[in-house]
Chain A
């Protein structure tokens, strides 16, 4: 049982959560609605407003030196975030049909969402199931991304297109 020294929420971190050395997490409240596995690397900052809403099969892997400033991560699949990546305010990373209606009955529910290293996800962007963001890519504020963003590219808009 790990409890955060500064935590206002009266619960320890769930056993399924691993927080790396020197990483800051605002509260165990981030996992209030999580039933999955979360691994956060060393030297990360996970700030107020970030919520992990994972199903029992869901897993999230966050690298080292990442900053997440209040994102909602909702999946029953896998989400991976590479080292040095920055995720801004109110970003949604979700493949769950409760948050993100599938296009049709044929579309699979859970699909992995992968974010590379040193990527920058702008405020209020939405990353949908099956999305892959390459290393050093930039996703503009409010962009809605479905699919692959090449390494080093900048995408903006809804649907997101290379700028």
Chain B
């Protein structure tokens, strides 16, 4: 697992094996992250998916 600069991981979130979290990405509270998160993206849910504001 690698988490980039300035990323933001919410309370209770789980980031699984091998996942790359891009710089400045946001992981919502309780999200289960099984796939890479692009830089600056926001992901939420189980499985975590990209959401737009």
Choice from B26, B27, B45 contacting A158 with Cβ under 8 Å: B45
Size bracket, chain B contacts: 10 to 19
The answer to the question of A124 belonging to the interface, with a C-beta cut-off of 8 Å to chain B, is yes
A128 touches B29 (CB 8 A): yes
Chain B interface mostly: loop
Interface residue? A5 (CB, 8 A): no
- The verdict on B15 contacting chain A, using a C-beta distance below 8 Å, is no
A99 contacts B29, CB within 8 Å? yes
| Cα distance A85–B29 in the bound complex, in angstroms | 23
Shortest Cβ distance from residue B13 to the other chain A in the assembled complex, whole angstroms: 9
Distance between Cα atoms of A144 and B52 in the complex (Å)? 17
Select one of A99, A102, A159 contacting B11, CB under 8 A. A99
Q: Tally of A-B residue pairs with Cβ under 8 A? A: 59
Enumerate chain B residues within 8 angstroms of A103, measured Cβ to Cβ.
26, 28, 42, 44, 51-53
Q: Are B11 and A158 interface neighbours, CB within 8 A?
A: no
Contacts of A92 on B, CB cut-off 8 Å? 11-12, 29-30
Distance A104 CA – B52 CA, assembled complex (angstroms): 8
Q: Which of A99, A106, A158 contacts B31 (CB 8 A)?
A: A158
| Residues in chain A near residue B8, CB distance under 8 A | 101
| A15 adjacent to chain B (CB < 8 Å) | no
Q: Is A126 an interface residue (CB 8 A)?
A: yes
User: Does the CB pair B53–A94 fall under 8 Å?
Assistant: no
A157 near B10 with CB under 8 A, answer: no
The residue on A at minimum CB distance from B27 is A101
The proximity string for B residues 9-39 relative to A, scoring 1 for CB distances below 8 Å and 0 otherwise, is: 1111000000000000011111110000000
Give Cα A124–Cα B12 distance, bound, in whole angstroms.
Answer: 9
Is there contact, CB below 8 Å, between B44 and A126? Answer: no
Q: How distant is A102 from chain B, measured CB to nearest CB, in Å?
A: 8
Q: Which residues of A contact B12 (CB under 8 A)?
A: 92, 124, 126
Q: List 24 A-B contacts (CB under 8 A).
A: A92-B29, A92-B30, A101-B29, A101-B42, A103-B28, A103-B42, A103-B44, A103-B51, A103-B53, A104-B52, A107-B53, A126-B29, A126-B30, A144-B29, A144-B30, A144-B31, A144-B44, A144-B45, A144-B46, A157-B46, A158-B30, A158-B31, A158-B32, A158-B45
